[in-house]
Amino acid sequence: MSGLGRTTTMMTRRHFVATGAALGAAALAGAAPARKLKLGFDNFSIRALGWKAGELVDYAAKQKVDFLFMSDLNVYASFEAAHLSEIKKKADDLGIALHVGSVSICPTSGTFKNTWGTAEEHLRLIIKVAKALGSPVARCFLGNGADRQKPGGIEAHIAEVVKVCKAVRSEAVDAGVKIAIENHAGDMQAWELVGLIEEAGKDCVGATIDSGNATWALEDPLANLEILGPYAVSSGIRDSAVWESPTGAVVQWTAMGEGQVDWKAYMARFAELCPNTPVQLEIISGFNRPFDYLKPEFWTAWPKARASEFARFAAMAKAGKPRDPWKPPAGEDRKKAEQAYQLAELEKSLRYCREVLGLGSKT
């Protein structure tokens, strides 16, 4: 057995002895958390449809959700007060609460674009839109896993995000809006995001906790929740399947209930750690991503990865089975097939959350 294999085995056993009882107790708590959690979805779940804000609000009302998370700025026809007021009134009339957001605010990330100006101007715009729509959060993120391999590592990019957040702190506080930074696409592990939040100031910065992105950062979603949950003010939730490969593991995100996450245990703990945070589904299903952690060069991007947390991810991989990626049916138009697939994945996930997990306040 390789050194990595021995370490993984030892840490897996040690960790599960310490935490098994706690997780078992949570699972025995029943299908519904002790406190009813609000249910919603992120518009990225149905990105192929290209719907604008008004259409998304109508669809959210049809699905009888509590929250709609509009996580990009392209859904608005304009940022004029009259237009945003119209959207807010529509959502209020239909009983839909809103969370809003955008993309990278890290000027040194490869994902950052100057579409909305500088990083600080971009964040100020998200806060402005959030305030106008009554959103208590302005979601944004650092970047993705590729940023970990740049000079200075992820720490250099974290420092840049901290500077941006501190520069607009007064605007966020005055607006009553919390900057909600997501653990995004393998950019930061939970403990790294917590460090960013603490440095930037948790009075004005919180987390958008993403259970799927946890697996892209070599984390078990339940382990990620334990660390990030106390800071979570928004969320992006989906299931994950993980299985071993000859060079490490493969991750496929799935609809809720079709992966390996113990959602009864997860939601029971979610209700304890962040009971006022809505469960907002961001379903991104159907493709496979490899993580070649058995290759030594893989770890250059993860010099401070913690063995106990990686062990839980490795245990997920050992328990999983390979799955084929989704592909459109033969002869069908790909765009139409993607639209139908995304709608179906989201709607069955919403049903699972209501019927199995007891989430949401509407029937």
Question: Which CATH number covers residue 11?
Answer: 3.20.20.150
Number of domains within the chain: 1
Distance CA 205, CA 231 (A): 9
**Angle (nearest 5°) at CA 266 between 286 and 67:** 70
Task: Supply the pLDDT for residue 35.
Answer: 57
Q: Is the pLDDT of residue 32 over 90?
A: no
Structural domain of 181 = 3-355
Q: Is residue 362 part of a domain?
A: no
- Cβ atoms of 280 and 67 within 8 Å: the answer is yes
Task: Supply the pLDDT for residue 57.
Answer: 98
Q: Is the pLDDT of residue 264 over 80?
A: yes
Q: Is residue 101 part of a domain?
A: yes
pLDDT in tens, 111-162: 999 999 999 999 999 999 999 999 999 999 999 999 999 999 999 999 999 9
The better pLDDT of the pair 33, 8 is held by: 33
Task: Supply the pLDDT for residue 22.
Answer: 40
**Which two three-digit tokens encode residue 258?**
């079709």
Q: Is residue 192 part of a domain?
A: yes
Distance CA 239, CA 287 (A): 13
**Angle (nearest 5°) at CA 188 between 184 and 192:** 135
Q: Is residue 66 part of a domain?
A: yes
Task: Show Cβ contacts of residue 205 under 8 Å, excluding neighbours closer than 6 positions.
Answer: 165, 178, 179, 180, 181, 196, 197
pLDDT in tens, 155-177: 999 999 999 999 999 999 999 99
Query: Mean of the pLDDT values across residues 263-272?
Result: 98
Q: Is residue 360 part of a domain?
A: no
Task: Supply the pLDDT for residue 270.
Answer: 98
**Which two three-digit tokens encode residue 153?**
């590592």
Query: Mean of the pLDDT values across residues 207-221?
Result: 98
Confidence of residue 9 (pLDDT cuts 50, 70, 90): very low
Q: Is residue 84 part of a domain?
A: yes
Q: Is residue 100 part of a domain?
A: yes
Distance CA 344, CA 71 (A): 20
Q: Is the pLDDT of residue 5 over 90?
A: no
Q: Is residue 363 part of a domain?
A: no
